[in-house]
Amino acid sequence: MKEKIDINTWIRKDHFNFFNAFEEPFFGVTVDVDCTSTYREAKQNGASFFLLYLHKSLVAANAIEPFRYRIIDDEVWKYKTVHASATINRPNGTFGFGYIDFDEHFNDFCLGANKEIEKVRATTGLIGSSSGENVIHFSALPWLNFKSMSHARSFSHQDSCPKISFGKVRDENGKKIMTVSIHVHHALMDGFHVSAFVDQFQELLNKNQELILG
């Protein structure tokens, strides 16, 4: 479900028209987050650490309205909910793209995510599932403590989906620290909104939730 935004009366009208004309309208930041509590939470409950922090990042993204904005045929639409289009690693070193529905309950989210992971790992191709515009493009580089990141782009293809990448978890002063790269379309949001996402994500990482895994 999505709702069209009237650009002519939108508070971001000038910002949208300015940045949407750019050949490269995306900007990105790289930040560190403290995932100590979430890492411990996953280990204590036998849950996937990846799926747990992925779910919390989706909760945060859905809470920050601009992360649900998309540009379709030069019109701005606001989706009610956004989901995950994530890279799924295979044991042979390749990966495929998987589509994972967001559910506010982690246990239900996990059920769908694990099915999608099994599906992608059972294939050899790149695109295992199709997705629409109401997704965030997620990727993980759990082997690399990167300091910045860029993404491959097809400039002939209109794309306004945020791109979030997670790095290697490292130990610092008794804490588990993870680098997160966030790239977003500047016609739809600014640094203020990215900061709000990071703050919301960190708050969720600091909290434990009741996990019932079957």
Vertex 152, ends 180 and 30: CA angle to 5°? 20
Asked whether residue 211 is domain-assigned, the answer is no
Asked whether residue 44 is domain-assigned, the answer is yes
Per-residue pLDDT at 210: 61
Say how many Å lie between the first and final Cα of the chain, rounded.
31
In this prediction, residue 130 has a pLDDT band, given cuts at 50, 70 and 90, of low
The residues pairing with 78 across neighbouring beta strands, listed in sequence order, are: 3, 69
What Cα–Cα distance (Å) separates residue 135 from each residue in 65, 83, 130? 13, 5, 11
55-97: per-residue pLDDT in tens?
Answer: 999 999 999 999 999 999 999 999 999 999 999 999 999 999 9
Which domain covers residue 26, as residue numbers? 2-206
Per-residue pLDDT at 133: 85
Domain containing 121 — which CATH number? 3.30.559.10
Among 3-7, 102-106, 123-127, 148-152, where is mean pLDDT lowest?
123-127
Asked whether residue 213 is domain-assigned, the answer is no
Q: How far apart are CA 202 and CA 116, in angstroms?
A: 26
Q: How far apart are CA 168 and CA 30, in angstroms?
A: 13
Q: How far apart are CA 64 and CA 197, in angstroms?
A: 6
Asked whether residue 26 is domain-assigned, the answer is yes
Asked whether residue 107 is domain-assigned, the answer is yes
Helix axes 36-45, 49-63, angle to 10 degrees: 130
Which two tokens mark 64? Answer: 């920050």
Asked whether residue 150 is domain-assigned, the answer is yes
Total structural domains within the chain: 1
Block residue for tokens 């580089």: 141
Helix (H) or strand (E) holding 178: strand 175-185
Query: Contact 194/188 with Cβ under 8 angstroms?
Result: no
Asked whether residue 178 is domain-assigned, the answer is yes
Global confidence as pTM: 0.93
Asked whether residue 212 is domain-assigned, the answer is no
Q: How far apart are CA 39 and CA 47, in angstroms?
A: 10
Helix (H) or strand (E) holding 61: helix 49-63
Catalytic residue among 83, 105, 186, 193: 186
Where on the phi/psi map is residue 74: left (φ > 0), alpha (ψ -120 to 50), or beta? left
Report the candidate in 129, 95, 126, 125 with the shortest Cα–Cα distance to residue 112: 129
Indicate if the pLDDT at residue 18 is higher than 70: yes
Per-residue pLDDT at 176: 98
Indicate if the pLDDT at residue 213 is higher than 60: no
Query: 3-class DSSP state for residue 31?
Result: strand
Per-residue pLDDT at 132: 73
Per-residue pLDDT at 155: 79
104-118: per-residue pLDDT in tens?
Answer: 999 999 999 999 999
Told to judge if 151 belongs to the known catalytic residues of this protein, a careful annotator would answer no
In this prediction, residue 214 has a pLDDT band, given cuts at 50, 70 and 90, of very low
Over the chain, what is the mean pLDDT? 93
Question: Between 156 and 163, whose confidence is greater?
Answer: 163
